[in-house]
Amino acid sequence: MELAAKLAEDLRAKDLFLKDVKSAGVYLNFFVKYPDYSKKVLTSVKELGEGYGRPVIWEGKRIVVEYVSANPVHPLHIGSGRNAVLGDFIYRILKFSGAEVQRRYYVDDVGLQVAYLGYGYIKLGKPNPPAGMKPDHYYGLIYAATTTIIDILKLKKELDVKKSSGNNERVLELSRQIDELMSDLARIKEKIPEEIDALLNALSRVEDPESEVNELMRKYEAGDKDSEPVREVASKVVEGIRKTLESLGIEMDVWDWESDLIRSGMVDKVLREARESLHFTEHKGVPALQFEGLLKDPALRKKLRIPEGLDIPPLILVRKNGSTLYTTRDIAYTLKKFREFDADLVINVIAVEQTLPQAQLRLALHALGHAREAESLIHYKYEMVNLPGTSMSGRRGRYVTVDEVLEKMTTLVQELMKGKKSEAGDKALKIARSAFKYMMLSASPSKTLVFDLRKALDTNQLSGPYLQYTYARANSVLEKAGEVEWDTVDFSATSQGLRRRLIWLIGKFPSVMSKVASELHPEDLVHFLNEVADAFNAWYDKEPILKEGDRGVRALKLAITASVKTVLGTGMSVLGLDVLRRI
């Protein structure tokens, strides 16, 4: 209690827009000189404009953000959509905060998944998509069909064996699994019936398709000519993905192909480094790194942000057939990202399910002598996006694509815009994609998202457009008003009701932004902008702005409106929502 009184005394002595400070029990009550504070806030917004609220915490840093990086085997689904939207937010907030930022997409064309697609593609005689179907959608179906058929054939083989051996329990289980896959396949077949028949026909004549896929993968990694179609089909899928990102308003600076990385010799170099490392081992007969020694050091664990209870198995570097594994290549790729951009920090936006390999990656970097890179590699995690009832699966063709969500939302927005003073063009898309991004940004990344398309398309739940609408409303008032007469603003009229609250919120914006920038939590900014929009709309309804008779008060109201517009505009553009003067 005495401490509070003492503090009050001290604070009173300093001049921080404070009228008075009183202690009340354990609390300190601050009384702000509202006219002075308001003047400071509003003129700051006026002078700094779009720079108002710019945090300085990343000033001068060089940062690489890797995001999306979906495998080139199917279209972007809404899980990748969450990744894309979050990654883009990170790019924007870092850039706004003064960092040099580079956006990279890692095309994993060397892995097993692309080999499956390439295999099906070759078996079908390298078909082109039918007219009107995007390549990523078409080849996504081929990919799902190929993996599903191969799995069915494999299970059937086992079923035959188990039947003759009389293992009834296993027979039932296998039959059930096969039925499930058959129904997945039937669903795919509705879209590409001819291809499915051709694939079934071709694959059922192959003795062991799985090992052929593996062989194709090995050849591709080795740069064998026979495997060229793999790159070809992956490129077509990537082109489709690029289009989807474009319609989301998301661009990349660099597209890195994993196969190029291998051809550059960087992966070989990593393998040589690994063999010389103290942590090198043979695990089950193949080269690996083991981290037991490193994990015993609590200080290092902390530096590398290895979750406390996490058990880290050895990292296998090379398969028995000589091909490398994803994380092995990712070691080389991480070094490439650091070097090519001379980066202080590399942020990987990757789903939480990859926590373990990302931790292994940091440990491996450290083990190979790249301590700085290991410590400066951030895994920005986000939780999964599931569909009501099920989870998505690329291998089975069970997913909701970003394209179809955007398309449906755009149509919906167009309906709503009918009869309004809507200008044509891509405005409906801009509103729709902002609504989509808003959904992805408003929930904490640490929460699982259940994506319900019906809810996404519910007109009344389009909260992204609410911000756009409020911005357009403020803009409209200002356009009608002409210039804000800053010299005549009456700052003494700032202390009541909603004006006071609005100025308070506007003044809070810089501290909100620096918290958001340091923690990279988009949801905090989303909620703040909602507060601003709510306060502005309530105020707008209560107090006429343009019709205000008192010149000084009118100028004040316009200054507040202009500041709200600036804050909303800056906040929305950092989130990646389209800022529209009219909607």
Partner RNA sequence: GGGCCCGUGGCCUAGCCAGGAUUAAGGCACCGGCCUUCGGAGCCGGAGGUCCCGGGUUCAAAUCCCGGCGGGCCCGCCA
Phi and psi at residue 70, in whole multiples of 5°?
A: -70, 145
Query: Which amino acid does the sequence have at 349?
Result: V
Pick 236 or 473: Cβ nearer RNA: 473
Q: How far is the CB of 345 from RNA (least distance, A)?
A: 20
1 is a site residue for RNA (CB under 7 A): no
Pick 175 or 386: Cβ nearer RNA: 386
Cβ–Cβ under 8 Å, residues 291 and 314: yes
Q: Are strands 18-24 and 27-32 parallel, antiparallel or unpaired?
A: antiparallel
Return d(Cα 528, Cα 334) in angstroms, integer: 35
Q: How far is the CB of 539 from RNA (least distance, A)?
A: 8
Pick 44 or 146: Cβ nearer RNA: 146
Among 59, 179, 239, 353, indicate the residue that binds RNA (CB under 7 A).
353
Q: Which of residues 258-297 bind RNA (CB under 7 A)?
A: 284-286
Among 235, 247, 386, 514, indicate the residue that binds RNA (CB under 7 A).
386
The secondary structure of 330-390 as a DSSP string is HHHHHHHHHHHHT-SEEEEEEEGGGHHHHHHHHHHHHHTT-HHHHHTEEEEEE--EE-SSS
Among 545, 556, 564, 568, indicate the residue that binds RNA (CB under 7 A).
545
Q: Which of residues 485-524 bind RNA (CB under 7 A)?
A: 515, 521, 523-524
Pick 198 or 417: Cβ nearer RNA: 417
Pick 43 or 463: Cβ nearer RNA: 463
List, in order, residues 6 or more apart from 382 with CB less than 8 Å away: 82, 83, 86, 349, 351, 352, 445, 446
Among 232, 239, 292, 458, indicate the residue that binds RNA (CB under 7 A).
458
Residue of 342, 565, 362 whose CA lies nearest to 467: 565
462 is a site residue for RNA (CB under 7 A): yes
Among 319, 408, 500, 501, indicate the residue that binds RNA (CB under 7 A).
319
Angle formed at CA 26 by CA 24 and CA 30, multiple of 5 degrees: 50
423 is a site residue for RNA (CB under 7 A): no
Q: Which of residues 61-120 bind RNA (CB under 7 A)?
A: 71, 108, 110-113
Q: Which of residues 323-352 bind RNA (CB under 7 A)?
A: 325-327, 352
Helical spans, DSSP H, in 78-192: 78-96, 112-123, 135-165, 168-189
Considering all CA atoms of the chain, what is the largest pairwise distance in Å, rounded to the nearest integer?
95
Pick 369 or 388: Cβ nearer RNA: 388
313 is a site residue for RNA (CB under 7 A): yes
Beta bridge partners of 101: 63
Cβ–Cβ under 8 Å, residues 117 and 407: no
Cβ–Cβ under 8 Å, residues 178 and 153: no
How many residues of this chain bind RNA (CB under 7 A)? 85
Among 51, 265, 369, 544, indicate the residue that binds RNA (CB under 7 A).
544
Among 60, 125, 166, 309, indicate the residue that binds RNA (CB under 7 A).
309
Q: How far is the CB of 470 from RNA (least distance, A)?
A: 7
**Beta-sheet strands, E only, within 228-319:** 254-257, 280-283, 286-289, 315-316
Pick 171 or 387: Cβ nearer RNA: 387
Among 97, 475, 494, 570, indicate the residue that binds RNA (CB under 7 A).
475
Beta bridge partners of 20: 31
Q: How far is the CB of 69 from RNA (least distance, A)?
A: 8
In the structure encoding, which two tokens stand for residue 373, read together? 């890179």
- Give the x-and-dash track for 129-158 against RNA (CB under 7 A): ------------------------------
Specify the DSSP class assigned to residue 496. S
Report the Cα 354 to chain-centroid distance in Å.
14
Q: Per 3-state DSSP, what percentage of the chain is helix, strand, and coil (rounded to 5)?
A: 60, 10, 25
Residue whose structure tokens are 């006071």? 500
Among 5, 198, 200, 356, indicate the residue that binds RNA (CB under 7 A).
356
449 is a site residue for RNA (CB under 7 A): yes
543 is a site residue for RNA (CB under 7 A): yes
Q: How far is the CB of 387 from RNA (least distance, A)?
A: 11
Among 29, 165, 204, 492, indicate the residue that binds RNA (CB under 7 A).
29
Return d(Cα 571, Cα 565) in angstroms, integer: 10
Q: Which stretch binds RNA (CB under 7 A): 42-50, 94-102, 293-301, 304-312?
A: 304-312
372 is a site residue for RNA (CB under 7 A): no
Angle formed at CA 255 by CA 252 and CA 261, multiple of 5 degrees: 155
Pick 221 or 403: Cβ nearer RNA: 221
Q: Which stretch binds RNA (CB under 7 A): 87-95, 353-361, 365-373, 487-495?
A: 353-361
241 is a site residue for RNA (CB under 7 A): no
